[in-house]
Amino acid sequence: MNPAAHQISQMQWPRLKSLKPTFADIRTAVTDNAKQRFSMKPNPSLPEPPSPSSENPADWMIRANQGHSIAIDSAALLIPITLEAGNVPETCVHGTYFAFYGEILKSGGLKKMGRNHVHFGTGIPEDGGVVSGMRGDAEVLIFVDVKRCLEEEPEMKWWVSENGVVLTEGDGEGVVGTRFWKRVEGRREGGVLWKDGVKVAELEEGLRNRKAPMGKGGRGGGGRGGRGGGRGRGREGRGGRGGGRGGKNSDGNTEITTEETKPVEET
């Protein structure tokens, strides 16, 4: 059983249950989500796979494609990025905020924080379209050289989720070190701060002292990217106390049986 998946017919999370969603509502939310954060999979405990058109909630499981804070088996859930496979992304970028940049530098790089992985996009919002793996209001862009990471630290594993988010657990300390930073720049202001693993400029004081956007409390450098640890009101895909409820499995799926859900952190 996929640990991060939940059977739809067992979704009992109070906030979801109070909305009285139908199975059709849940399916629409999964398929229409702009960043494709969720997947529905056939329930593996069934003797035979269900018909793709089945509307029986017990036939399906739901899971987040990334953003897990419970233990998962990455190899069972994600696609490995390797030099041999030739699937190293040309662009790998983490978005954060000016308020957190200094702390990220002090810590030596990007950290997972409360999640299993540091998250990256393969483009930026200005490229057009929805970018999974990065918040649309990110102020600082940290581009990482994945190829160099794989060459110099092969024990640092890299993955890509079903919806195209690039993920890594980091090194043995859970960090993607600054030496692998290809480039760091302010998205709209601040200029180039880092290039080819070397700092080239300081962040100006006015930007250093800028507060994080509302709801982005806490450190922003790692997997959480500045997300507040609280209730995440009104945030799509989170809705409650993010993190660790439900799912005692270990590969990344959440059973969808319509009476209990687990809130999922957003990227």
Residue 254, pLDDT score: 33
**Which residues of the chain are in CATH 3.20.170.30 domains?**
74-208
For residue 30, the model assigns a pLDDT of 75
Euclidean distance between CA atoms 144 and 11, whole angstroms: 38
Average pLDDT over residues 3-24: 63
pLDDT tier for residue 253 given thresholds of 50, 70 and 90? very low
pTM of the entire predicted model = 0.61
Characterize the bridge pairing of strands 198-199 and 192-195.
antiparallel
Domain 74-208 has CATH 3.20.170.30: yes
112-151: b or e for each residue (b if 16 or more CB lie within 10 Å)? bbbbbbbbbbbbbbeeeeebbbbbeebbbbbbbbbbebbe
Per-residue pLDDT tens for 56-67? 878 877 766 654
Residue 156 has pLDDT above 70, yes or no: yes
Give percent above pLDDT 70 in the chain.
Answer: 66
Distances (CA, A) of 183 to 33, 178, 186, 193, 251: 30, 10, 10, 7, 33
78-129 pLDDT tens trace: 899 999 999 999 999 999 999 999 999 999 999 988 888 999 999 987 787 6
- Give the chain's mean pLDDT: 75
**Burial code of 51-71, b = ≥16 C-beta within 10 A, e = fewer?**
eeeeeebbbbbbbbbbbbbbb
Termini Cα distance of the chain: 25
pLDDT tens, 218-235? 544 443 433 333 444 443
What local confidence, expressed as pLDDT, does residue 259 receive?
Answer: 31
Q: What is the pLDDT of residues 115-128, one digit of tens each?
A: 889 999 999 877 87
What per-residue confidence (pLDDT) applies to 230? 40
